[in-house]
Structure 1
């Protein structure tokens, strides 16, 4: 799973560089998220602008990551494509996660909440 992280202050931006988060990649996604966020603090923003497809396994992997971060760290999502946003709406996960139009909006949201 091609992913990268960049930490700026109390925000870690994890960018997914793969087009799919599905059954074939869900375990790799979870493992990579654990590696990229381990030992950090503050908010984690998952930049999903490159993701064009997500299935229930991918959705489960994202929920699993949220649980892994615990209550002291918040997982927010940014840049959901229309297809991916539809999955989040249909499953009502859009009410579970804070969703941002893009990474810049997520950063601005964090700055205004501080």
Structure 2
């Protein structure tokens, strides 16, 4: 799974660049996050705007990514497609994460929690 990172003043933005986060890419996703986690700031915002499909393996990969960060770091989610948001809500995993309506697109742009 291809990810793009962008350091911001407030956090590190990690953008998923593929439309599916499922069993086929879950291991690659976690490996990519593992490579990012060591140098991550206190807040990491996972921008899932391009992800239109997330299955249980993808959900497990996102939770696994959260666990890869040190305990004093937070993984937050942003820009969830309605279908992806529904998976988090139905499984009650939305309670584990701060979820933002949008992800910042530039250094000065704020983001909004939903």
Same fold (TM over 0.5): yes
Q: Pick the structure with more helix per residue.
A: 1
Please report the TM-score for the alignment, with normalisation by the length of structure 1.
0.88
1:96 and 2:99 are equivalent in the alignment: no
Deviation at 1:40, TM superposition (A): 2.3
List runs of 5+ in structure 2 lacking aligned partners. none
Residue correspondence of structure 1 range 1-114 to structure 2 within 5 A: 1-104=1-104, 107-108=110-111
Equivalent-residue separation in structure 1 for 2:28 and 2:84 (angstroms): 19
Mapped contact 1:2–1:16 kept (Cα < 8 A): yes
1:41-86 per-residue CA deviation (whole Å, 9 max, x = no partner) reads 2100000000000011100010011111031110000000000001
Q: Match of 1:83, SS? A: helix
Structure 1 portions without partners, runs of 5+ = none
Q: Residue 34 of structure 1 contacts residue 65 of structure 1 at CA under 8 Å; is this kept in 2? A: yes
3-state SS in 1 of match to 2:83: helix
Misfit runs of 4+, over 2 Å: 106-110
1:108 positional shift: 4.2
CA RMSD of aligned residues (A): 1.8
Aligned partners of 2:14 and 2:47 also within 8 Å: yes
